[in-house]
Amino acid sequence: MDNLDLLKIQLSQDERDILRGSRGSMMQKVMETVVLYGEALNAEKLIPIEGPGHFVISFSSPGIAPSIKMLEELVAAGLRTQYQFTLDPRGALDFENLNLKPEVERALLDMYEHQDYYEQLLTKLGLRDNQAFTCNPYQPEVGNIPDRGTILAWSESACAIFANSVLGARTNRNGAIMDLLSNIIGKTPLAGLLTDEGRCASWLVDIVTDDLPSPHLLGAAIGRKVMADVPYIVGLDRFLSPDLDSFTVDYLQDMGAMCATYGAVGLYHVENITPEAIDFGQDLLKSEYSTLRIDEPELSNILDSFPQLWENEKDVPEKCFIGCPHISLRQLYWWAEAIQQELKLVGQEQVAVETILCSAPQILEKFMKDKEVNLILKSAGVKLSPCCCETIFETGLKAGHPVITNSNKLRAYSSARFLPDDELVQVLVTGELTEAAHEKDL
């Protein structure tokens, strides 16, 4: 960096020294990247990161991750993050749970050819352990749960928005690679969602539905309208608990993931539910704000807008993925019971559609200790997996195949078809799309 005086961001003497090479050329390059990032975000200065990271860069496939060469350079320079970090789920390499076609398995093995070496490098750079792979890291079984107010530099859009909104920590929506570099420096730009001003809402979102809406549809409705702004949501406290019980936490996780997929939302406040909304209420609204009213027809319009991407819309569903983002222990039990009840109702022993429930390794381990429920699921033909199911679609080989899911996020990044939970459980048991799903195609 030629002339530090041209920068608007304020730099400490230590930061200036690093930019001049006091800690080696690799650290100099990392610092330059983070400083220019701060300059682009109009940051006042860099501030220390105060807790463990969570990064999106779990896959070794090029284009989704930093290059092996870049990681090798960082390791060779002896650099590592100041706090340990967790990562998004691994790719779909647990073939024993997935029953994939041989050509799909080959494509996945090609994509993740260097995965073991990639993980060795990330371990040297600060990866917490070899089970720290999930997009739901703040579940108690996983334990990456930042305290309120903790300054972080997280990526994974679904995790950054949850950490900000539900836990009250402070992180910007950092992109892949910038997450790692910021945590190596141990500093992140003081800008955007790290500032009090940046956490104020410019949208009042009024939920006027009679029942609790699907978080996957509600998040989409909010995200596509609000984009990168902060919404203050009223009306959900009729349905959700201020105690942030596990149902509420799961609901907010799914809703936030969709806000971040459809828009660039990094923080939301829910009146009487999320910590800053409880403390400050509608004082969080900026003096001028827009209003968005969400009712049943608005959510129906979202559902109707999803394109049908199967090669043949009348095909029988082939596979069902549940767990994008990874589901919690409570959700695992919910699905086990829902599937069991539906099977009893129609007098079947097994599901008609291959069904895979995806969750964190630590949650699956705990769940599998419950032999009774596991036997029920196993008998029903349901599989469990710690993978990121979306990666199966990245091979391109499943595009257009008849896959169903309850995840609007998975739908958005694949050709899978979205069905709400109650409809999905019927379809995965009977193997036939419901009348409602067919009507949507007409």
Partner 1 sequence: MKKTFKGRPVIAGMAEGKAVVSRGGFNAYASFYNSLAEGVQIAICADRGNQDTYGKSLSGKILCIPSSTGSTSAGAVWQRIVGLGIAPKAVLFSHTIDSLAAGGLLVADIWVSKTICVIDQLGEEFLETVQEGDWIEIQENGTVIITVSKG
Q: Name the site residues for partner 1 (rule: CB under 8 A).
A: 29, 32-33, 36-37, 40-42, 56-57, 61-67, 70, 155-157, 160, 172-179, 181, 192, 223, 227-228, 260-264, 307, 309, 394, 396, 412-413
Shorter beta-carbon distance to partner 1: residue 286 or 383: 286
CB of 55 to partner 1, least distance (A): 9
CB of 373 to partner 1, least distance (A): 33
286: part of which helix (H) or strand (E)? Answer: strand 285-294
Joined tokens for residue 165: 């909104």
Shorter beta-carbon distance to partner 1: residue 210 or 312: 312
Q: Is the peptide bond before 325 cis (omega within 30 degrees of 0)?
A: yes
Cα–Cα dist 258/222, whole Å? 8
Burial 62-96 (b: 16+ CB within 10 A, else e): eebbbeeeebebbbebebbbbbbbbbbbbbbeeee
Shorter beta-carbon distance to partner 1: residue 280 or 306: 306
Shorter beta-carbon distance to partner 1: residue 321 or 367: 321
CB of 186 to partner 1, least distance (A): 17
Cα–Cα dist 260/244, whole Å? 21
Shorter beta-carbon distance to partner 1: residue 415 or 434: 415
CB of 338 to partner 1, least distance (A): 29
CB of 410 to partner 1, least distance (A): 12
Shorter beta-carbon distance to partner 1: residue 182 or 385: 182
Cα–Cα dist 416/427, whole Å? 14
Cα–Cα dist 216/299, whole Å? 10
Cα–Cα dist 203/205, whole Å? 6
Cα–Cα dist 223/216, whole Å? 11
Number of neighbouring beta carbons within 10 Å of residue 334:
16
Shorter beta-carbon distance to partner 1: residue 32 or 421: 32
Cα–Cα dist 422/406, whole Å? 9
CB of 56 to partner 1, least distance (A): 5
Cα–Cα dist 252/162, whole Å? 8
CB of 182 to partner 1, least distance (A): 9
